[in-house]
A and B are shown apart, each in its own frame.
Chain A
Amino acid sequence: MSSALRRMWAVFKRELGGYFYTPVAYVFIVIFLLLCGVFTFQLGGFFERGQADLRPFFDFHPWLYLFLVPAVSMRLWAEERKQGTLELLLTLPIPLWASVAGKFLAAWVFCGIALALTFPMWITVGYLGSPDHGVIAAAYLGSWLMAGGFLAIGSFISALTRNQVIAFVGSVVVCLGFLLAGFGPVTDFLNSWAPQVIIDAITGFSFFTRFDSISKGVLDSRDLLFFASLILVCLFGTAVMVEVKKAG
C-alpha cells in the first residue's frame, strides 16, 4: 500500500471511529431506522399497497437524507477548524486529497452502515411475497449513491465555516435545491414559462429524477456518472476551500 493510501486509511479509520466515540452515531442510527419505519409503514402504506416491493421504503429516502445526512457531514471540516485540529491535520504528512477523501469515505461508510441496518425490511418483504431482489439491490445502491451526493455537498459546505449549525443549515438548503429541481410541483411551475432547455438542465441536476429511475431497478450509467461526478466535484471544491480558508 502506498504511503498516501495508508495515511488516507488512517484518517478514514479515525473519522469513522469518531462517530462511535460519542453517542452521535447511535442516536443517528436509531432515529434513521425509526423514521424509515414510520415513513414506510404509516405514510407509505406498505401493507395497504399489497405489493411485494420496497417502493414506499425508498420513496422517502430523499426526504430522510435531506435532514439526516447534513447532520453527519456538518462536523467533517467545521469541527476540525473549531477545535484547532485542522492545523494539526494539515501539518501531518497527509496529502490534502487523502484527508478530504478519507473523511468523506468515513461519513459515506457510516451512512452505508445505517442503510444496511434496514435489512429487516428486505427480509420482511421477502417473507411476505416474492419481490424482485435485483430491483431492491439496485435501489439500495442508488440510495447509498444519493447519500454520497448529499454528503459531498455537506462536506463542501462544512469546509466553508467553523460553525456546525451553519454547516447543517447551509447543507439542508443546498440539498433541498437539488431535490426540488425535479420535484413535480416545481417542474410544473417551470413548465408554464421556462424554455425546455432550461427545464432539462434544471431537472438534470435533480436527485429525485435520478433516484427514481434507480429505485425502479434501472441502473443507468448516466445516473451513476451523475452521482460520481457530483461527488468528485464537491470533494475537489472541499479541498480548494480548506486550502483557501485555512488562514482565517
Chain B
Amino acid sequence: MIEIKGLVKRFGALTAVDGVSFSVQRGEVLGFLGPNGAGKSTTMKMLTGYLSPTAGRVTVVGHDVEQEPIAVKERIGYLPEGAPAYPDMTPWEFLNFIAQVRGIDRARRAARIEEVASMVHLEGVMRQTIDTLSKGYKRRVGLAQAILHDPEVLVMDEPTDGLDPNQKHEVRALIQKMAPAKAIVLSTHILEEVEAVCTRAIIINRGRIVADGTPAELRARSRHHNAVSVKIRAGGAVSAEAARSELARLAGVAGAEIGPSDNGDLSLIVYPKGQGSIASEVGAHVRSRGWVVDELRVEAGRLDEVFRDITVGRGEEVRS
C-alpha cells in the first residue's frame, strides 16, 4: 500500500531525511520511532504530499505522490503533528468541511460525521468551538478528520501526544480496531505504544533507518533479552557478591550483576551467553544451594534500552 524508496530531503545544508526506504502492507501498523529531529515528521510530510522530496519516490496504493498528488491525498487520512484544526469552527462545522472536500455525499454526510464522532467520543462537544476544547478533545477532532473518509492509508504524527492514560488507551484500541483493513503509519516516542499497537517498528536516527523489525525482534537485540533476574531472601548464608560470582561461573552464563534491592534482599541479574536460555540452569543452581527465592523471572528485553543503544550509540560513532 505504501512504497518508499530512497527518500531524501534537504533543507539547505541540513539533510533531514537521508535515503529512507520501506513499505507498508494492508493490516500492518508501522511505528515510527526516533529522537526529536530524527526526520520522522519530515518523512511523514513527504509521504502525505505536503513536502516534495529532494530525491526518492513515494507511491501510495499505486499512485506516485509527485505525479498524482491529488489521487494520493484522496487515499490518505493524515493527522499532522499537533492535530491542527480551525479554532473558530465547531467540530461539527470542521468535519462537515472535511466531508465536503473528501467528496462524501450530502445524503451520507451527517450520518458519517455522527458515526466518526462517536468512534472518537466527540459527541458532547460537537457544537462548541474548537479553541475552547481541551487538548485531548482537539486531538480527537484531528483523528476524526483523518478517518472521516475511511481511508486505505492512515498516517498519524504522534496521535496520542498530550492525552491522558485513559484517552491513550482509547486511541490505541481504535487503531487496533481499524488496523486489519488499512495500512497505518504512526510516529511516537512512547515505546509502550509501539508494544501496544504496532506490528512493526522502524527506528530512525539522523534521517536514516537504523532498525526495522517487529517489537519482539527489536527487544531481542537488548542485552536483557533472556536474562534472568533472581531475588533471594535476605538473612541467608550467602552474600550478594558471593552469589553473583557463583552464578557468573555457570556454563551458559556470560556474567551477572547485582541489582538494586529495597528491603535488604539480594537482587541479581544474570546474562546469558549469546542470548541462550539459562532459566533452568540458574534455577537448578539456586535450588541446589538452598537459597530462598522470592522471584525468578526471564526478561523479554527492553525496547527503551535498544532504542537508546541504537540512537545514542550511533550518534557518538558518527561524531568521533
Contact = CB atoms under 8 A, between A and B. Distances in A.
A93 B88 contact: no
A158 to B, nearest CB: 16
Interface string A16-36: 011001100000000000000
A229 to B, nearest CB: 28
Contacts of B74: 93
A3 interface: yes
Given A21-B89, A84-B80, A84-B82, A92 B98 contact: yes
A14 B11 CA distance: 33
5 contacts: A10-B101, A83-B87, A84-B80, A87-B80, A94-B101
Interface in A162-189: none
B84 interface: yes
Interface of B: 11, 45, 48-51, 70-71, 73-74, 76, 78, 80-82, 84-89, 93, 97-98, 100-103, 129, 145
A52 to B, nearest CB: 43
B86 A93 contact: no
A123 interface: no
A216 interface: no
B199 to A, nearest CB: 25
A21 B88 contact: yes
Given A87-B80, A95-B70, A7 B88 contact: no
A87 B50 contact: yes
B113 to A, nearest CB: 14
B103 A88 contact: no
B86 A6 contact: no
B73 A92 contact: yes
A14 B100 CA distance: 10
A88 B84 contact: yes
B73 A91 contact: yes
A247 B9 CA distance: 11
Nearest to B155: A91
B48 A88 contact: no
Interface in A99-138: none
A87 B84 contact: yes
Nearest to A86: B84
A10 B102 CA distance: 10
A164 to B, nearest CB: 14
Contact of B50 (A21, A90, A93): A90
B7 to A, nearest CB: 15
B2 to A, nearest CB: 15
B70 A93 contact: yes
Nearest to A88: B84
A175 to B, nearest CB: 26
Given A6-B100, A10-B97, A88 B73 contact: no
B112 to A, nearest CB: 15
A22 B88 contact: yes
B77 to A, nearest CB: 10
Interface in A39-97: 83-85, 87-88, 90-95
A105 to B, nearest CB: 16
B101 A92 contact: yes
Nearest to B77: A91
Contacts of B98: 92
Of A4, A14, A21, A92, most buried by chain B (CB within 10 Å of CB) is: A92
Given A21-B88, A91-B49, A93-B70, A10 B100 contact: yes
B51 A247 contact: yes
A75 B94 CA distance: 18
A93 B97 contact: no
Contact of A85 (B70, B84, B102, B129): B84
Given A10-B100, A17-B93, 14 more contacts: A7-B100, A13-B97, A14-B89, A18-B86, A21-B88, A22-B88, A84-B80, A85-B86, A91-B76, A91-B80, A92-B98, A93-B101, A93-B102, A247-B51
Contacts of A90: 49-50
Contacts of A92: 73, 98, 101-102
Contact of A91 (B48, B85, B93): B48
B103 A6 contact: yes
